[in-house]
Amino acid sequence: MRLPDDDEQNLRIDILPAIDVIFAILALTIVASATLSRTEGLPVALPRASSADPQTLPDMTVTIAATGELQLDGVAIDLDGLVAAVAQRDRRRVILRADERVPHGQVVAVLDRLRQVEGVELAIGVEPVREP
């Protein structure tokens, strides 16, 4: 309703503050995503080796935590199901990341099970020694 005494004003929608907010959210998202790192399952203290060669990312990662917990690509699994889970996949390269406090016998048991899969390529994950 228009009253005869009202001054006619040009109303407009100012979108500049909205654009500023969107750019701030975009900048925070970019900064946050740049600080994220790829995790490969359980946190383990890998043993150190001076002859370690960096490898491309493996097709599968088997992790044994210091507590003995076993994971395949970040999903908990038991030793009996490991062979079937690896055999079902088309990928055949596997890196075993075992905490340095895991008993040698458990590492050998996992390696033995993985070798039962036909065509599997195995590698053991280590932390490279940094020379000063």
Residue 104 CA from chain centroid, whole number = 26
In DSSP notation, 16-69 reads HHHHHHHHHHHHHHHHHHHH-----SS---PPEETT----PPPSEEEEE-TT--
Mean pLDDT, rounded, of the chain: 78
Question: Domains along the chain?
Answer: 48-128 (3.30.420.270)
Q: Which residue has the higher pLDDT, 38 or 67?
A: 67
Cβ–Cβ < 8 Å for 121, 58:
no
Cβ–Cβ < 8 Å for 80, 123:
no
Query: What pLDDT band is residue 20 in, cutting at 50, 70 and 90?
Result: very high
Q: Which residue has the higher pLDDT, 119 or 44?
A: 119
C-beta neighbour count of 64 within 10 angstroms: 24
The predicted model scores a pTM of 0.56
Say whether pLDDT at 130 is over 80: no
Task: Give buried/exposed letters for 24-39 (b at 16+ CB in 10 A, else e).
Answer: eeeeeeeeeeeeeeee
Tens of pLDDT, residue by residue over 27-64, are: 998 888 777 655 555 566 666 666 656 666 557 888 88
Cα within 13 Å of Cα(132), Cβ side: 0
Cβ–Cβ < 8 Å for 75, 66:
no
